[in-house]
Chain A
């Protein structure tokens, strides 16, 4: 029963009792929820229910109805017990196993956190993170993954926000919660500029990039009249109805791009980063090899995902 008043009260509690929430220091992951940092308050429904129990109690006492009193006591004791159960859901629960995807500034980055606990099942654990509530149940001895998205606002490290781990299990009468302020961050890559000049003017030879006959076997295809005889794959054709021809080609070697921080003139450093990021993107998309020279780092000519991420990380972390 999340009323509109709840956030206000919470904000007030935070002001009054900073120890509860705000001053929770950054802590490295994995963070284990210790009993001393778990708090419990009744939910709105819990308060209503307590009122109802009080009415039942007074009624039973007034009419000297011991059977009704017994029922009230039983209901009340079960309610009180549910508080401990809620506590047990969080006690000893651990958060960690941070994984994140890649994202550029302005995109949403997908992050996943793992929750695990040694023994019993932890039912209906809720995480308030990134403005949304996520519910998971951690199996006994296993782990559960919470996936969420964060807004990538700036390039560089995006620290994980302060997170509330809470639960209303089992009856929804009490909420046990604990704040976690993980000392962990996900990387946001710089946003490449939308358009701009190419790093180097294309050089001569319009044929560059067109496939040429070479030594490497690329594919088999049906025989077309005029194909040279030596390219016919005789052995393979024997098992087929028609003739197969070996298509030989040699990939056109593309020119490597040697990207250099200092070669981009007349721009501030953010724009330089954006431009370099676009070039790297383009180089990767073209299947080119590239190198990157930064004032404090050099990545030699290479290609592939690993190279790409190294370069982008370096750009993202430029001061």
Chain B
């Protein structure tokens, strides 16, 4: 009868069972992997993976071997089903890493031998790296790098075949030391490994990874963004920064409205941007967190687009590539400007377009204003702003839900909302009154970091406002939210949200603010120096050394030469062997070298007395010197526990003076 192997693992005949210590360390490494992924895995999945890992550890501790295939297979199937049910697919960043982490934990179920443990550790390293796809902050990177310590310790323990494993300290400290010793080589390689100008294959799935502003806007969408405290931009200015109420960073303009959602005007992007009349006012540099989008937010009106970006008809700027990594760009902004003094008919039509059947009451109101102010755009806009200010409107991040007609419902019923609601209805009113208008989204405000002298713009600073076209004056910015809640514009989003609650919470305390400033400076440095280090920055890296552009060949050469140098240094360390013995031995060796040149070579097993006597016989000319040396050596070596310093000194003196003359064979 044929016997069936129930295990999925290949037969490993003679290999011994993995000891407990390597297995413990393996479980620890796996736990670390689950831990660094816990931030994006559903909590119940992390918890059950951790539980499974703990169970397996306990099971093996009690002597359990392979878990039966009849347990493993359903668990793998369950994992697959759970991932697909949660994410809808198996492919992509989140489901992929969830599945990988799950498989890694399941791998411990069949880990019995060294080989399994090694495979587990290798893929564990891969899974650790996958955690960095989600978060590349300095803290996340350091934690993930620390995750290598248990992995290295596991590999060491696997090799350590003596059953004595020592304490946990002797387990982890060498692994940590090994990691620390590899930092120089790693840093060097990191600097000089040539970066790719463009990715070799598909970029991360944009739908999932897009963060921050979106290219469309419908009231209620931004709420999540407005409480997201992650940094979006860091802006440094040449000279004084603009005042808080003038810090408008434009990202998108939106022309098309379908009654629910504002979107960009698709067919307008073919038109070329009209020249901007204005004086350059602020020179600044933006370090932008990756968004997976192309748009680059620009302070007010940019004079021109940065090097690798394009200016569009509405003076928003898109990069030529999606911003997948930290992006740094320079720009010059005009604050007093005139844009589109005359409006192209195509643009004008788009800026007046309104969806049919939406907001009849609002249209009526706008028509009334148009008649009252004789179609004067300024008058109509002021009327709308004063309505927002005095008409019982309030600012809240949690407004009541809107009914079918979002415009009328907001303007005449709920009367509460935040920037999107106001920008949307304001633009609607303007258009209804016959004034071309559009919605603008971007960032407004930001937080001035005094320590680092830069403006930190968070995602929570996302904002929406309007631009109204006025004949002869061009596009003019109107911020209806400012009419409702001036703090939003002068102090920022958090102040606007808190002002209603009254208590300014404890973390506006001075020390905490300073600490946060410092911490953000560190993050800023990390983002610029590490995450933003791309092909462009790399090619300019050696400018201080007079090399204008470092191309891939140079980089590869430097990498090769530098790595060889570092390896040579390490080899020097590896070859270095401290000679045995103390100073006396060292001088004796020196004497032996001198005598060897004269033909008297110390034999193995020849004691110092015999050797010196033989030397004295061979070199009668130095007989006295050699006899004295012999006495000195024997006295300092054997007459005391430790060679007395003065005798060693005399011996050294005499060895130095000794010249082996006259070879006598």
- Interface on A for B, CB 8 Å cutoff? 1, 35, 45, 48-49, 52, 55-78, 80-82, 84-85, 87-88, 91-92, 118-119, 123-124, 135-137, 168-173
Contact = CB atoms under 8 A, between A and B. Distances in A.
Contacts of B195: 61, 64
Nearest to A173: B155
Contacts of B196: 61-62, 64
A77 B185 CA distance: 6
B20 to A, nearest CB: 18
A194 B159 CA distance: 48
Interface stretch (B103-111, B272-280, B453-461, B569-577): B569-577
Contacts of B246: none
A92 B324 CA distance: 51
Given A1-B115, A61-B193, A77 B183 contact: yes
Interface in B156-189: 156, 158-162, 174, 178-179, 181-187, 189
Given A45-B122, A59-B129, A78-B186, 9 more contacts: A52-B126, A61-B195, A62-B199, A66-B326, A73-B185, A76-B189, A78-B148, A137-B162, A169-B160
Given A78-B152, A118-B577, A135-B161, A67 B136 contact: yes
A91 B132 CA distance: 39
A72 B128 CA distance: 10
Contacts of A170: 152, 155-156, 159, 174, 178
Nearest to A49: B122
B148 A84 contact: no
A100 B546 CA distance: 69
A71 B178 contact: no
Q: Which 7 A-B pairs have the closest CB atoms?
A: A77-B182, A77-B185, A67-B136, A73-B186, A64-B325, A77-B186, A171-B155
Contact of B129 (A45, A71, A82, A84): A71
Contacts of B174: 170
Nearest to A64: B325
Contacts of A87: 574
Contacts of B132: 65, 67-68, 71
A92 B573 CA distance: 14
Given A65-B133, A67-B136, A81-B185, A48 B122 contact: yes
Interface in B190-216: 190, 193, 195-196, 199-201, 203-204
B410 interface: no
A268 B123 CA distance: 68
A62 B580 CA distance: 51
Contacts of A75: 125, 148
Contacts of A76: 186, 189
Contact of A172 (B159, B178, B186, B577): B159
B552 to A, nearest CB: 12
B200 A58 contact: yes
Contacts of A67: 132, 136, 140-141, 144, 530-531
A55 B118 CA distance: 17
Contact of B128 (A59, A65, A71, A136): A71
B158 to A, nearest CB: 6
A88 to B, nearest CB: 5
Contact of B179 (A74, A123, A173): A74
Contacts of A64: 195-196, 199, 324-325, 534
15 contacts: A52-B126, A58-B200, A63-B133, A63-B203, A64-B195, A65-B325, A67-B141, A69-B190, A69-B193, A71-B132, A71-B148, A77-B184, A88-B574, A119-B578, A170-B178
Given A68-B129, A74-B148, A76-B186, A124 B578 contact: no
B570 A81 contact: yes
A73 B193 contact: yes
Contacts of A45: 115, 118, 122
B651 interface: no
A72 B159 CA distance: 23
Interface in B519-558: 530-531, 533-534
Interface in B122-153: 122-123, 125-126, 128-129, 132-133, 136, 140-141, 144-145, 148, 152
B580 A118 contact: yes
A42 to B, nearest CB: 13
A70 B179 contact: no
Given A62-B199, A66-B136, A84-B573, A71 B141 contact: yes
A172 B158 contact: yes
A78 B534 CA distance: 24
B583 interface: no
B567 interface: yes
A70 B125 contact: no
A171 to B, nearest CB: 4
A56 B183 contact: no
Nearest to B535: A64
Nearest to A73: B186
Interface in B559-596: 567, 570-571, 573-575, 577-578, 580
Nearest to A56: B129
B186 A35 contact: no
Contacts of A69: 190, 193
B193 A119 contact: no
Given A71-B141, A75-B125, A91-B577, A62 B162 contact: no
Contact of B531 (A66, A84, A169): A66
- Most chain A CB within a 10 A radius of its CB, from B115, B126, B129, B570: B129
Contacts of A91: 574-575, 577
Given A60-B129, A119-B577, A80 B567 contact: yes
B446 to A, nearest CB: 25
A85 B193 CA distance: 25
Given A64-B196, A64-B534, A52 B183 contact: no
Contacts of A80: 182, 185, 567
Contact of A63 (B152, B324, B571): B324
A184 to B, nearest CB: 16
Contacts of A62: 196, 199-201
Contacts of A58: 200
Given A49-B122, A62-B199, A171-B155, A71 B144 contact: yes
Contacts of B123: 52
A71 B136 CA distance: 11
A169 B159 contact: yes
B548 to A, nearest CB: 23
Given A57-B193, A64-B534, A74-B186, A168 B159 contact: yes
Contacts of B200: 58, 61-62
Contacts of B160: 123-124, 169
- Most chain B CB within a 10 A radius of its CB, from A55, A68, A123, A173: A68
Interface in B84-126: 114-115, 118, 122-123, 125-126
Contact of B530 (A70, A78, A124, A168): A70
A78 B183 CA distance: 8
B125 A56 contact: yes
Nearest to B531: A66
A134 to B, nearest CB: 10
Contacts of B530: 66-67, 70
Contacts of A60: 129
Nearest to B526: A67
A70 B132 CA distance: 10
A135 B570 contact: no
Contacts of A84: 570-571, 573-574
B436 to A, nearest CB: 40
A124 B178 contact: no
- Most chain B CB within a 10 A radius of its CB, from A59, A63, A82, A173: A63
B155 A52 contact: no
A139 to B, nearest CB: 11
B145 A71 contact: yes
A118 to B, nearest CB: 5
A159 B307 CA distance: 77
A85 to B, nearest CB: 8
A82 B153 CA distance: 12
